[in-house]
Each structure stands twice: as C-alpha cells, then as structure tokens.
C-alpha cells in the first residue's frame, strides 16, 4: 500500500485492533523466515534501515545491509535479538540490498540463504554457514551457480532432501530472466518484460539442492499454480498470481506453497501432492497489512501452527520500515487455511 494511502489510518486504533504486536521494537525487521531448531524458534528476517534512497517501484529504498537472527523460547516469550549474523561487507560477491533470507539445518550445521545484488546490479542468491542457528555466519565466496532473483525459501522434506523455492517480479528481476539469460535492457517500469495480462503468469522457481546445500542439483523448474479448472493462473489475475515471498510447509501429507501477490497485498496459497507441483490455488491466508509489502512464513511449534509476517504499524506506515509479528494459524476440517485479518474489523485499504 503506497504511503500516500495511509493518511486515513488512526494508528492508535489500528494497534488496539491488531491481532499481534511487533516482536522486536528497537530495530525494524521484515520478511520473517521462522524455523524450529532444538526446541526453540529462530526467525531469520530482513533488517530494515532508512538509507535515504528514494521510493520507487523497483525497491531501491529497501537498502538493507545485514541480517540479525531473532530467537524465542516459545511463541509467547520475549523475542531476543542476537546481533549481526552477517553483513554485506563480509560477502565477497555482494554489493548491496540484502533482501529476504531463509535458513535451514543439516548435520549440525546451519545454512543462511540470502539474495543480494552483485557488482553488476543483478540479484543472486548466496549461502553462509555457521555452527550456531544465531550465527555469526561465514559466506561462501561466490553466489550459488546459476542462481538469480530473490526470496529463497529452503524446505527440508521428510527424506532429508532440501528444495529451494525463489523468485520475485518487479524489483526482484524474475521477469528479466524469461529467456534463460538476464535481459540487460534497462527500464524504470516495474511491468517491463512481464507477460501480458491474458498470458500465463510468471512462476516462482524450485530446485533441489545438492547434499551439501551449497548448489543447485538441477536446473530450476517453474512452480506452476493452477486454478479450479487446472489452468495456469494468468498474469492479470493479480489477486491470485505469484509475485514474491515463496514459502513451503507440509500439512497432513500435502505440500502448501504460499506466497505474496505483491501489488494487491495478499498472502495466498496453493496445494500439491509433491514438492514440484502443480499447485492448485486454495485461497487467502492473510488480508492486507499496513505497508506495501507482505511476506511471511508458516511453522509448527508444540502442535500448533503459526504465521509469521510483518507490517509497518510501528513506523506508522513507512513502507520500508517494517516489524515482524506472529499470529496463530487455523485449518478447517478439509485442510484449508482460515483467512486471517491482521487488524480484526479494521480495513487498511479504502
């Protein structure tokens, strides 16, 4: 939601009606990727700062420089900021814009997966490793070979296989890779290089990772989302089609792919029988929050399911200064997720 659209909002009233409050208030955090390691919750968010960049549709004002890991003993406990886990200055290949990360664990090692722009202005995805879930993390000297775009989410299946889901349009550059190579043509328009509205929407990507979690084990494939008639969602279907913020979780044996619709500010999901899909669109998880972006994760803790997300309520609507939150997630008897309104009966879009 553009900042000029927040003038009607009474933030005192909104915060009273919010279903959750910011987990961290001394810094701004966004894009929370939550995991349970060793019986504790660890959250891997972006660290928002005000770098003085002008607002634009390609996200130049999201100028994050480092990552902090947030830990919680339980959903109701105080959230702890464990300090800087990785800084862009310590990533040889990365120049700027440390956007939404994720993490996972294997054989007692912890892996941080993150996007950043390289010195050619192209988003790549890197890996950093630590002996601790809170870091500090040491980055690999090069980005993952053949990686591109943003928002990596790494899902570990029951057999130990790990899959990376990634991609984002507009500032995330996914539309500039439609031919398999980066389109060098510069454009100020966020919709340049996108399919037409009546054409199939661009898809997120998925690739199985190598056993050491450092490279793709295969060429990335499309994460196809289909409608009730098994037809691919169209680019113009912007209340259902993929924009960014991939996440995967399993519930009762099925794979739930959730994502942000970007310019319509929704978190939606689709369901499949396997990690590659196709995924059938199933509905909305989260209605619009204050702030343009919406980005989330879903995790089970002690038998309950939780949605981690962000909004800009703490900064009173400043788009690039966000705060992470958590709310309980519920399913119906058929396995469909019940839509969550982040502010009860308060509509942030008029």
- Give the span between the Cα atoms of 309 and 298, in whole angstroms: 9
Catalytic residue numbers, as ranges: 31, 244
For 269, the 3-state DSSP assignment is: strand
Contact (Cβ atoms closer than 8 angstroms) between residue 204 and residue 223: yes
**Which letter, b or e, does each residue of 128-139 get, where b requires 16 or more Cβ atoms within 10 Å of its Cβ?**
bbbeebbbbbeb
Structure tokens at 237: 């279907």
Cα torsion angle, 229, 234, 239, 240, sign = positive
Residues in Cβ contact with 184 at an 8 Å cutoff, skipping those fewer than 6 apart: none
Residues in Cβ contact with 89 at an 8 Å cutoff, skipping those fewer than 6 apart: 65
Structure tokens at 347: 């509509």
For 77, the 3-state DSSP assignment is: coil
- Give the span between the Cα atoms of 326 and 39, in whole angstroms: 17
Contact (Cβ atoms closer than 8 angstroms) between residue 126 and residue 144: yes
For 114, the 3-state DSSP assignment is: strand
């Amino acid at each position: 939601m553009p900042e000029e659209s927040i003038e009607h909002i009474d933030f005192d009233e909104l915060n009273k009606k919010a279903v959750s409050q910011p987990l961290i208030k001394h810094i701004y955090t966004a894009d929370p990727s939550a995991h349970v390691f060793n019986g504790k919750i660890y959250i891997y968010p972006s660290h928002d700062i005000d770098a003085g960049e002008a607002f634009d549709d390609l996200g130049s004002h999201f100028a994050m420089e480092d990552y902090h890991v947030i830990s919680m003993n339980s959903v109701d406990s105080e959230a702890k900021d464990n300090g800087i886990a990785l800084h862009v200055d310590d990533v040889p290949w990365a120049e700027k814009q440390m956007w939404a990360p994720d993490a996972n664990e294997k054989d007692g090692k912890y892996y941080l997966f993150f996007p950043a722009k390289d010195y050619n202005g192209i988003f790549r995805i890197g890996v950093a490793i630590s002996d601790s879930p809170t870091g500090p993390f040491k980055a690999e000297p090069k980005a993952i070979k053949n990686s591109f775009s943003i928002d990596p989410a790494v899902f570990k299946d029951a057999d130990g296989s790990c899959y990376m889901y990634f991609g984002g349009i507009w500032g995330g550059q996914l539309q500039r890779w439609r031919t398999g190579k980066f389109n060098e043509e510069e454009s100020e328009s966020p919709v340049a290089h996108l399919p037409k509205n009546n054409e199939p929407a661009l898809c997120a990507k998925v690739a199985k990772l190598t056993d050491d979690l450092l490279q793709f084990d295969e060429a990335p494939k499309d994460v196809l989302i289909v409608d009730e008639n098994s037809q691919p969602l169209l680019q113009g279907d912007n209340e259902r089609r993929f924009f960014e913020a991939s996440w995967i979780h399993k519930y009762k044996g099925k794979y739930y792919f959730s994502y942000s619709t970007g310019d319509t500010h929704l978190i939606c999901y689709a369901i499949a029988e396997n990690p590659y899909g196709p995924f059938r669109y199933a509905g909305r998880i989260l209605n619009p929050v204050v702030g343009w972006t919406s980005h989330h994760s879903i995790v089970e803790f002690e038998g309950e399911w939780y949605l981690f997300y962000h909004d800009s309520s703490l900064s009173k609507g400043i788009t690039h200064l966000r705060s992470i939150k958590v709310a309980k997630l519920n399913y119906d008897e058929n396995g469909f997720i019940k839509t969550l309104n982040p502010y009860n009966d308060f509509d942030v879009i008029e």
